[in-house]
Amino acid sequence: MSKLILVPVDGSDPAKKAIEFAADWAKHHDATLLLVHVPEPPVGDEVMVMGGASIYMHTTPDELRTIGDSIVKAGAELAREQGCKSVETLVEIGDPARKIVAVAEDRKVDMIVMGTRGLGDWKSLLLGSVSHKVTHLADCTCVTVR
Ligand code: ATP
Ligand code: MG
């Protein structure tokens, strides 16, 4: 059976590297990529996301979902550019790490590939809170990409 790889994406450069890594792996193993984004209300004045779009404070749930759609769409384009033929996308509402793990269990994914860090500011930390929590909670193999 074809393998399913979950790549959680937040629009950050490390997540982009995770997509490139996972897409290359998928290409060589005839696997499908499942790109998942969980919208998070922005905490700063402005947060840059993949594709040049930006999100601001007081963003409504509908706006967050629209931004989420553009994040997974940009990720899917990148994966296809890397030669990965089979890509699915999903935008889910909730706590990012818990949602990512729930989708992984629900879809019985073979592996989760994510960035070590994301859009957060604490650059001195090795792992961000989402990648840390997912690695602890998930039953499947977790790969973090720097
Ligand atoms: P923190 O959020 O704790 O300040 P950070 O933003 O640097 O730190 P994480 O949020 O843990 O680090 O990001 C690590 C990886 O987790 C990202 O590269 C991405 O793969 C995934 N990720 C982070 N946030 C989300 C999200 N909201 N939806 C989907 N995937 C996410
Ligand atoms: Mg983060």
Domain that holds residue 85: 4-145
Would you give per-residue pLDDT tens digits along the chain (146 residues)?
A: 789 999 999 999 999 999 999 999 999 999 999 999 999 876 654 555 556 565 555 678 888 899 999 999 999 999 999 999 999 999 999 999 999 999 999 999 999 999 999 999 877 678 999 999 999 999 999 999 99
The pTM for the full model equals: 0.91
Residue 108 CA to ligand 2 center (angstroms) comes to 24
User: Considering every ligand atom, which ligand is closest to the CA of 98?
Assistant: 1
Residue 80 CA to ligand 2 center (angstroms) comes to 25
Please report the pLDDT score of residue 45 as a whole number.
47
d(C-alpha 7, C-alpha 106), whole Å = 15
- State if residue 41 touches ligand 1 by the CB under 6 angstroms criterion: no
CB 18 within 8 A of CB 146: no
Please report the pLDDT score of residue 145 as a whole number.
97
Please report the pLDDT score of residue 41 as a whole number.
76
Please report the pLDDT score of residue 126 as a whole number.
87
Number of domains in the chain: 1
CB atoms within 10 A of CB 59: 17
Backbone angles phi, psi at 26, to 5 degrees: -60, -40
Please report the pLDDT score of residue 46 as a whole number.
58
Please report the pLDDT score of residue 146 as a whole number.
92
Please report the pLDDT score of residue 125 as a whole number.
78
d(C-alpha 116, C-alpha 7), whole Å = 12
Which CATH number do you get for residue 74? 3.40.50.620
- CA-CA distances (angstroms) from residue 62 to 53, 65, 75, 109? 15, 5, 20, 28
Output the residue whose Cα is nearest ligand 1's atom 20: 114
